[in-house]
A and B are shown apart, each in its own frame.
Chain A
Amino acid sequence: MESQIAEIVQHTGGVIGNAWLMIAFPLVGAFILLVFNRFTDRWGHLLGVAMSLASFVVAVLAFFELLGFGEEERRRAVHLYEFIPGMVDMGLLIDPLSICFALLITGVGSLIHIYSIGYMAHDEHRRRFFSYLNLFVAAMLLLVLADNYVGLFIGWEGVGLASYLLIGFWQFKPSAATAAKKAFVVNRVGDFGLLVGMFIIWTTFGTLTFQGLGEQITPGQTNGTMLAIGLLLLLGACGKSAQLPLQSWLLDAMEGPTPVSALIHAATMVTAGVYLVVRSGAFFFPEGSGAALAVAIVGAATLLAGAIIGCAKDDIKKGLAGSTMSQIGYMMLGAGLGPAGYAFAIGHLITHGFFKADMFLGAGSVMHGMNDEVDMRKYGGLRKYMPITFATFFIGYLAIIGFPLLSGYFTKDGIIETAVHHQPVLGWLAVLGAGITGFYMSRMIFMTFFGEKRWADDAHPHESPAVMTVPLMILSLGSIVLGGYLILSNRLLLFLAPAVGRPEALPEFHFTSTPGLATLALVAVGAIIAWMKYGRVEVPSVQPRGSFLTTFARRDLYGDALNESLFMRPGQWLTRIAVFFDNRGIDGLVNGLAAGIGGSSGRLRRLQTGFARTYALSIFIGAALLTGALLLVGNI
Chain B
Amino acid sequence: MTTHYLVLSGLLFAIGAFGVLIRRNAIVVFMCVELMLNACNLAFVTFSRQVGNLEGQIIAFFVMVVAAAEVVVGLAIIVTIFRTRRSASVDDANLLKY
Answer yes or no: A and B touching, Cβ < 8 Å. yes
Given A617-B21, A620-B17, does the pair A612, B97 have CB atoms closer than 8 Å?
A: no
- Contact present for B21 and A611 (CB under 8 Å): no
Instruction: Give Cα A620–Cα B13 distance, bound, in whole angstroms.
Output: 12
Distance to closest chain A CB from B29 (angstroms): 8
- Contact present for B95 and A610 (CB under 8 Å): yes
Distance to closest chain B CB from A491 (angstroms): 96
Instruction: Give Cα A605–Cα B96 distance, bound, in whole angstroms.
Output: 12
- CB-nearest residue of chain A to B26: A612
Instruction: Give Cα A608–Cα B93 distance, bound, in whole angstroms.
Output: 13
- CB-nearest residue of chain A to B22: A613
The yes or no answer to B43 lying at the interface (CB within 8 A) is: no
The yes or no answer to A505 lying at the interface (CB within 8 A) is: no
The yes or no answer to B24 lying at the interface (CB within 8 A) is: yes
Number of interface residues of B (CB under 8 A): 13
Task: From A608, A610, A620, give the contact of B21 (CB < 8 A).
Answer: A620
The yes or no answer to A606 lying at the interface (CB within 8 A) is: yes
Distance to closest chain B CB from A621 (angstroms): 10
- CB-nearest residue of chain A to B90: A612
Residue of B22, B24, B90, B97 contacting most chain A CB atoms (<10 Å): B97
Instruction: Give Cα A276–Cα B95 distance, bound, in whole angstroms.
Output: 81
- Contact present for B21 and A612 (CB under 8 Å): no
Given A617-B21, A620-B17, does the pair A612, B93 have CB atoms closer than 8 Å?
A: yes
The yes or no answer to B3 lying at the interface (CB within 8 A) is: no
The yes or no answer to A616 lying at the interface (CB within 8 A) is: yes
Distance to closest chain A CB from B89 (angstroms): 10
- Contact present for B17 and A610 (CB under 8 Å): no
Q: Mark B1-34, 1 if CB is under 8 A from A, else 0.
A: 0000000000000000100111010000000000
- Contact present for B97 and A613 (CB under 8 Å): no
Instruction: Give Cα A617–Cα B22 distance, bound, in whole angstroms.
Output: 9
- Contact present for B91 and A608 (CB under 8 Å): no
Contacts of A608 in B (CB 8 A): 97-98
Distance to closest chain A CB from B71 (angstroms): 17
- Contact present for B21 and A613 (CB under 8 Å): yes
Instruction: Give Cα A605–Cα B21 distance, bound, in whole angstroms.
Output: 21
Distance to closest chain A CB from B34 (angstroms): 15
- CB-nearest residue of chain A to B93: A612
Contacts of B17 in A (CB 8 A): 620
Task: From B20, B91, B93, B98, give the contact of A605 (CB < 8 A).
Answer: B98
Instruction: Give Cα A538–Cα B90 distance, bound, in whole angstroms.
Output: 108
- Contact present for A611 and B91 (CB under 8 Å): yes
The yes or no answer to B84 lying at the interface (CB within 8 A) is: no
Contacts of B22 in A (CB 8 A): 613
Contacts of B21 in A (CB 8 A): 613, 616-617, 620
Contacts of A605 in B (CB 8 A): 98
- CB-nearest residue of chain A to B95: A610
Distance to closest chain A CB from B91 (angstroms): 6
A-B contact pairs, 12 of them (CB 8 A): A605-B98, A606-B98, A608-B97, A609-B98, A610-B94, A611-B91, A612-B94, A613-B21, A613-B91, A617-B21, A620-B20, A620-B21
B interface vs A, CB < 8 Å?
17, 20-22, 24, 90-91, 93-98
**A-B contact sample (20 more), CB < 8 A, given A611-B91, A613-B20:** A606-B98, A608-B97, A609-B94, A609-B97, A609-B98, A610-B94, A610-B95, A610-B96, A610-B97, A610-B98, A611-B90, A612-B90, A612-B94, A613-B21, A613-B22, A616-B20, A616-B21, A617-B21, A620-B20, A620-B21
